[in-house]
Every structure is written in structure tokens, then in C-alpha cells.
A and B are shown apart, each in its own frame.
Chain A
Amino acid sequence: MSAETVQTIIDDLGALMLFTMILVLAAGQITRAIYAVAAQSVLIAIAGATLAMATGNPDLWVIAGVTLTVKATLLPWVLLWVVRRMNVRREVEPVIPVGATLALAVAVVVMAFHLSASLGSLHQAITGNALPVGIALTLLGVLVMATRKTALTQMVGLFASENGIFFTAMAVTQGMPLIIEIGVILDVILAALVMTIMVLRVRSTVDADIADLARLRG
């Protein structure tokens, strides 16, 4: 594959990831948001495989495989399990209306593009839209975390944000050292486990959600 083809494919995958991110932002039901994040992880795995084919770096194959098994399968499964366990359906509960969140998302995307254009020499070194798309994905994930009340949706936002960082790192550096990637993935798994346990414990002991803890003062 020529470098240009790879760049096109990475750009296209980035656009599709942005689309899944918009779906996460607009989702009215938490299960849809989870499916969207899973789809996003599949896209990242495809991006990893594409880069692996292009660069011949075997580490990237491993990373693509691990992404596919952990982030596209295992984590969504855990999240869906928690959703079933807590017996919630429409558990999104935005702080500000979803329409306003979407408007903010537009601003974030435009800002991300503007920001990466102003990076100068770094921007020159990286062709295509991988950097601005990655920044936009990361910030939109943070936006999801900031605008949702329930812990589960915030977890979805965290994973989406992490996907953005992962995509940026992969596309910009043509593959980081394997040890770093594996470390990041382990971190995510650990975070997911801790948060899952915490959500379930909070739910079972005080029958309240994370947003209610704001009233907890000593």
C-alpha cells in the first residue's frame, strides 16, 4: 500500500470515528452509547491493522488484536452487564440538554481543527486529519463525561476519550512501543473494573448515583 492510500484510509476511519462519537453524544439510551463506543473501538482496531500492514510493524498487529478483544468486546460487555445488573434503561440524564451538548460538540470540533492548524511545525510533519480528529475525539469524550450525571455514561465518555488518545498516538507516531500500548490498555481495564465495582457498591449501599454525592458534605 502506498503512503497516500494509508493516509486516506486513516482519514476515512477518523471521520467514521467522529460519527460514532456524535452518536454517543446524541444517544438517548445508554446501551446505544455503549454500542457506539464498541463500534469506535472496532474502527480503531481496523486503523491499527491498516498501519501494521503499511509499516510492517508486528507490534501494531498485537495492538489491533488487543484493541479488538479488550476494547471492542470485553469492555462493552462489562458495561452492558452492569446496565443489566442495575436494571436501567434510559440512564443518560444529561446535565444540559442534548441539543446544547451537540452545539458544544460542533464548537469543540472546529476548535480542534483550528488548534492543530496552529501547531505549526508539528502540523507540517503530520499529513492528513489524524491529529485534529484525534484531539476532537478526546475532547468530545471529556464533553460526554462533563455533561452526564450518571457514572455509567461517564465511563462511556472516558472510554471514548481514551479511544481518541489511542487513535492520535497510533496515527501520529505510526505505532508507539508495544509496552506503552499494553500499559495503557491494562490501565483502561483496571479503571473499568474499579469504576464498575464502585458504581455497583454505591448503588447497593446508598441507593444513589454519583451526581447525588455532590450533596455529601461533612
Chain B
Amino acid sequence: MMTGSRPLGLVLLEMAVLVLLGPFVTGGVQKLKARIQCRQGAGILQPYRDLVKLLRKGTVQADTASGFFRLIPVLVLAATVAAGALVPVVRAGPPAFPLGDALMLLGLLALARFLTAVGALDAGGAFGGMGASREMTIATLVEPVMMMVVFSIAVAAGTTELGTLAAHRGTSWILAWRAADFLGFAAMLVLLPAETGRIPVDNPDTHLELTMLHEGMLIEHSGSGLGCMLLASHTRQIVTLGLVSALFFPLGPADGAGAAGFLLGLGAFAAKILLLAIFLALVESSYAKLRLFRVPQYLGIGFVCALTALALSVL
């Protein structure tokens, strides 16, 4: 039996926090973006209202879709939420029971992506098929790079378990960064818009454009199914941000117990997520969406950075 500092209750609580805060991050980024563009923008709670509205509506399904199609949103949501359980939020240190590591997290996110694409193809719509094909093209470029960034940090710590990695990071943030961490962080910053489906790789605001990737795959879903898919993409976003903050930013110490420690950790987590959300909003407002054929070149920067980080930490 492993002795760890994160009991089951804490892990479940952290997962719940992530799922509940997910739409808030999306709303925050959208609001910030609107203000940067001199618009009033929808309220910061708008994603919650959308979710509530969608979950109350009935479902319409394409005639060509199989029975599996109805299961897709639930499965995607389940995989994403399970990935959320692996992210340390308030406290560093290994979990008290066998849980899973960063590779498991990336695998679950990949599974969610795969299921989304399968659902889009299953419905038989042209938009869905196109969106799925594009999403998978991007995924083949993004996922290996995320793996490499994780590895470049895991090599130094000797483990891929995220809580232990975060504990290894210590509390003296950028001062303790090794050379590889700078490049790894740069690679992550390049990848973040791609992984969260934002400009310059994807455009989250459009529904009927030929440029869309993720939205194209959701177009056949409706009602509560669409609600689940949207909640899954909110959760996916905050899980990715949580992964970055666990890998690169300091986390509360493993022995900080009690309600005060929990609240402190939560506040620190909120601050880190806010920082990354501001970054996303700034990037979204200052760049145009890239042509699809230019995306590999953009992601290539991340790839080279990640590989160099790996070279710096291994060689």
C-alpha cells in the first residue's frame, strides 16, 4: 500500500472543483476577450446558463446515427472527468492509493478526443467528418509534444506521477527552473491554444464556418448530449491548464493540511489558472486564425522546443 498525502476524498473533491470551475474559465476567457475587443460581452456565468438550458432540452438525432451515438457524450464526459481526477489541484504529493500518472491523463484526454471523432463520423454529417479528420490531424501533432514535455520534466524527477512531479517542483517557482523547463514551458504555451481549441488553431466562437475543428464535431449533437459535450470541453480546457500549472508552477506543500491549507491551495490554483486564461485571451485577441495548412508549422515550434527540452534534460 502506498503512503501518500492525498486521500480519496481530497482527490474526488479536487475533481469536483475542476468540473465545476471549467465553465467559469471559459466564461472568463470570453469576457476578457470581449473587453479587449471593446465589447461588453456576455456575462461570465454564461457557459453555466448554456449548460443548464441544454441539459433541460430534448435530444434530436440524425437518422443515420447508430445507437452508439447516444452514448458518446456520456463516455466523452466520463473520460474527461476521470482525467480531471489525476490533476493535483490544492496539494502536491502522491495520492494515497494507486491512481494514475500524467501518461494516463494524456491517454484519457486522447480517448475523449477519439470518442468525439467517432461520434462525429457516426452521425454521418459532412461537417462532422471534416471536423473529425482535422481534429485528428492536429491531435497527432499535439499529443506527442505534450508527452515529450511531460517526459522532459519526468526525467529529472524520476516519476511520471503528477502529484510527485509537482512536489518535486518545490515552491520557489521560476528561480528553481532548469534550462529544460524554460523550453518545455515555451512548448506548452505554443500548444495550449491547440489543446484548448482556440485561435490560432481553432475558433471556438464559430458554428458555421469551414474553418472550425472542434465545433464541427459537435454539430450533430443536441440537447442534453450537446450539454455533456460542452461540459466535457470546458473540463478538458481546465484539465489542460491544470496539467500545465502542476508541471511548471509551484503547488501547495504536501503536508499543508486542514481547511486553511485547502483554501490557500485553491486560491493559488485559481491564480495560476487565471494567469493562463489571461494568456489565452491575449493570444486569441491578438492573432488571426491560421490556415489549416499553416498549423503544422505553428505546432512545429512547439515540437522543436519540446524536443530540445528533452535533449537538454536527457543528454
Chain A residues packing against B (C-beta within 8 Å): 8, 11-12, 14-16, 18-19, 22-23, 25-26, 28, 97-99, 102-103, 105-106, 109-110, 113-114, 117, 129, 132-133
Contacts and interface: CB of A to CB of B under 8 A. Distances in A.
Contacts, number: 68
B305 interface: yes
Nearest to A132: B315
B186 A19 contact: yes
Given A11-B179, A12-B182, A132-B315, A18 B300 contact: no
Interface stretch (B39-47, B206-214, B306-314): B306-314
Contacts of A22: 301, 304-305, 308
Given A12-B177, A22-B308, A99-B297, A113 B315 contact: yes
30 contacts: A12-B177, A12-B182, A14-B179, A15-B182, A16-B182, A18-B183, A18-B308, A19-B186, A23-B301, A25-B304, A26-B297, A26-B301, A28-B294, A98-B300, A99-B296, A99-B297, A102-B300, A103-B300, A106-B303, A106-B304, A106-B307, A106-B308, A109-B304, A109-B308, A110-B307, A110-B315, A113-B311, A113-B312, A113-B315, A132-B315
A102 B297 CA distance: 8
A105 B315 contact: no
Q: What DSSP secondary structure best describes chain A's contact surface? A: helix
B180 to A, nearest CB: 7
B178 interface: yes
Given A26-B301, A102-B301, A15 B315 contact: no
B179 A98 contact: no
Interface residues of B, number: 22
Contacts of A117: 315
Contacts of A113: 311-312, 315
Q: What DSSP secondary structure best describes chain B's contact surface? A: helix
Nearest to B177: A12
Contacts of B315: 110, 113-114, 117, 132
B183 A26 contact: no
Contacts of A15: 179-180, 182-183, 308-309, 312
Closest 6 CB pairs of A and B: A15-B179, A113-B315, A11-B179, A102-B300, A15-B182, A26-B301
